A and B are shown apart, each in its own frame.
Chain A
Amino acid sequence: MKGNDVILRTVSRIVVFIILTFGVELFLSGHNNPGGGFIGGLVLSSALVLLYVVFDIETVHQGVPLDFKKVAAFGAMLAVLSGTAAAVLGHPFLSQGFGYFDLPIFGVTELTTVTIFEAGVALTVIGTVETIILSISKDV
């Protein structure tokens, strides 16, 4: 007797968007609120985990055609490079800068290089978590 995943799938489709939005918000607002690259990345990857559990690897891969290994590598490299950039510019390694800018749409916004660093962190987290889960799952 085969069943139908319709309930789970329909709800998950909605839920995933909520999680994703929440993840991005966590990532971006971490500087002043709880959150940040790690947690943002973790939440984003848990959204993907939900997709993998509810759907299957191939379906999700069609939707998100990413090589997560490379995402992870790129993220980690970005984190290291953001530190190196400061060194190249003559500051101590990993010096972060921040400032307040008046941007066209966003208004007065605080921009900091930490965000680049945190983006690296987030990408690594996403890439790694998915790599691990996919590696194990593909082994079945």
Chain B
Amino acid sequence: MEVHMIILTGVLVTVAVYLLLSRNMIRMILGTAVLSHAVHLLLITMGGAAEGHVPLLGESDGPYVDALPQALILTAIVISFATTAFLLVLAYRTYEETGTDDLNYLRRVRRE
């Protein structure tokens, strides 16, 4: 169950990096969002194959899948949510101030 997941991760990374390299802010931010999808998938894939039961004691007698990566991903998900939220708002504030959502033009924004 891993190989196709790994390839999928690769596809997601490719798309994310391509989006990241765009000039448009929203494209770039969507790129970061896809990046985090990719890494969450990667984390769970690297945690090992899904051979085992849901890590709920009492649901079954085990063996259970590795629960640690799940906990790590949970933390990672919340953190990437926090970051994305901030980045989004920063993007629109930047647009409001500079009048452009083109990252290429941001370099020309000189100090006032």
Contact = CB atoms under 8 A, between A and B. Distances in A.
Of B57, B74, B78, most A-chain CB atoms within 10 Å: B78
B91 to A, nearest CB: 12
B58 interface: yes
B56 A34 contact: yes
A57 B57 CA distance: 42
Interface residues of B, number: 8
Interface in A23-46: 32-34, 38
Main secondary structure of the interface of A (DSSP, over half): helix
Interface residues of A, number: 8
Interface in B78-93: 78, 82, 85, 89
B74 A38 contact: yes
Given A38-B74, A38-B78, A33 B56 contact: yes
Interface string A4-31: 0000000000000000000000000000
Nearest to A132: B85
Nearest to A121: B78
Contacts of A1: none
A136 interface: yes
Contact of A32 (B56, B74, B85, B89): B56
A136 B89 CA distance: 8
Contacts of A136: 89
Interface string B26-64: 000000000000000000000000000000111000000
Given A132-B85, A136-B89, A32 B78 contact: no
Contacts of B78: 38
8 tightest CB-CB pairs across the interface, nearest first? A132-B85, A136-B89, A38-B78, A33-B56, A38-B74, A34-B56, A32-B58, A32-B56
10 contacts: A32-B56, A32-B58, A33-B56, A34-B56, A38-B74, A38-B78, A128-B82, A132-B85, A135-B89, A136-B89
Given A32-B56, A136-B89, 10 more contacts: A32-B57, A32-B58, A33-B56, A34-B56, A38-B74, A38-B78, A128-B82, A132-B85, A132-B89, A135-B89
